[in-house]
Amino acid sequence: IKKLAILTGGGDCPGLNAVIRAAVKTACYRGIEVVGIQDGFRGAVEGDFRTLGFKDVSGILPRGGTILGTTNRDNPFAYSVQVEGTRQIQDRSDEVMDRFKAEGIDALITIGGDGSLSIAQEFAKKGLNVVGVPKTIDNDLMATDLTFGFQTAVATAQDALDRLHTTAESHHRIMILEVMGRYAGWIALYAGVAGGADVILIPEVPYQLESIAKAVKRRADQGKHFSIIVVAEGAKPLGGEMVVERTVPGRTDPIKLGGIGAKLAADLEKLTAIESRVTVLGHLQRGGSPIAVDRVLSTRYGVAAVEAVLDKDYGMMVALQGQDIVRVPIKEAVHQLKKIKSDDPVLLAARSMGIEFGD
């Protein structure tokens, strides 16, 4: 192996730079040249590459975002281009294969979530040597216990909950915190437990408004005249689709604009006669510096990804299983999301101590 490329795809996530730094250092110490691809897979199509050395990764460990331009969801297999004023979708994957060959790139490390790793997997099928690193604040990627960035998002949401607690108590209000999690409620569950929430609403457990109202009233009867609710943006009422979404050209996934929290606040106020407020945490969960545990995890992932390349163990994603970093086939991690199961130990612990899930 002489030359290695690295790219960051999908949404940004705390720890991207920590992975890049670890991978670049590990590779450079072994005399491997590293090429950074700017702007995710867009840079692979457009040929936007730059060499990364020790100097380029110096001081980036705590930095949010990515040093590799922007992260985005562009897909070379369905690349959106403007042709004479109209948008067209083109397959540009062959160009990427040719360019990598011409540049003498032996392998590609893709740092991404379900979308970017699915693209990496498609390239693997075309014969590209790829290794994946699991990234998403949502922690909903299969085949790994943890994705990097998740624990930082949880810490941010937990800090918000700590702050909401004191204001909720001061006004005898219901305080609702809407967190990210379109398809899975990992952030809501972990932040809810860490932040002492009274009610946690997740996509995996459809909720009934009456159950939540009952829990809030039960607390009031016990002399607790405020309640804290964490709701994942993808949570739904039983039998309903309560989401505010929009679509963006070139993207197939729905974009949530927030809304479930506001609807809940209005409905609960009616049912309980307790004043309610909502905070939508949004992209604060993705920005900023990774916390210590994410820096360690990101660093381990970056090192392990280069080790997989050195072993020529391609088509694999580095993953955390228990305390160990292992390699799993990328195809086992994509196209199917990791949801919270009804026997999840954290969910069960939360239920045991009386946290309401609205079911």
138 classed as catalytic: yes
Choose, by CB under 6 A, the member of 256, 300, 327, 338 that binds ligand F6P: 256
Stretch that binds ligand F6P, among 120-128, 136-144, 263-271, 327-335 (CB under 6 A): 136-144
Residue for token pair 């970017």: 116
DSSP class of residue 321 equals: E
Q: What's the farthest any 2 CA atoms get from each other in the chain? A: 72
* 27 or 280: CB nearest ligand F6P: 280
Considering only residues 146 through 205, tell me which ones interact with ligand F6P, judged by CB under 6 A. Answer: 180-182
From residue 146, alpha-carbon distances to 102, 139, 315, 318, 323 in Å are 36, 6, 19, 11, 10
Residue 307, annotated as binding a ligand: no
**Of 353, 330, 334, 349, which Cα lies nearest the Cα of 131?**
330
Q: How many residues does the structure list for the chain?
A: 359
Choose, by CB under 6 A, the member of 89, 255, 266, 348 that binds ligand F6P: 255
Structure tokens at 275: 């004043």
* 255 or 292: CB nearest ligand F6P: 255
CB of 255 to ligand F6P, least distance (A): 5
Q: Please pick, among 138, 140, 198, 294, the residue that the annotation labels catalytic.
A: 138
SS3 281: coil
CB of 135 to ligand F6P, least distance (A): 9
Cβ atoms 254, 245 nearer than 8 A: yes
Q: Which residue is nearest to ligand F6P (CB)?
A: 180
Residue 97, annotated as binding a ligand: no
Size of the site for ligand F6P (CB under 6 A): 12
CA 146 to chain centre: 10
338 is a site residue for ligand F6P (CB under 6 A): no
Instruction: Give helix 150-171 / helix 186-194 axis angle, nearest 10°.
Output: 50
* 253 or 311: CB nearest ligand F6P: 253
Positions marked catalytic: 138
Q: Note the residues at the interface with ligand F6P (CB under 6 A).
A: 11, 113, 136-138, 180-182, 233, 255-256, 286
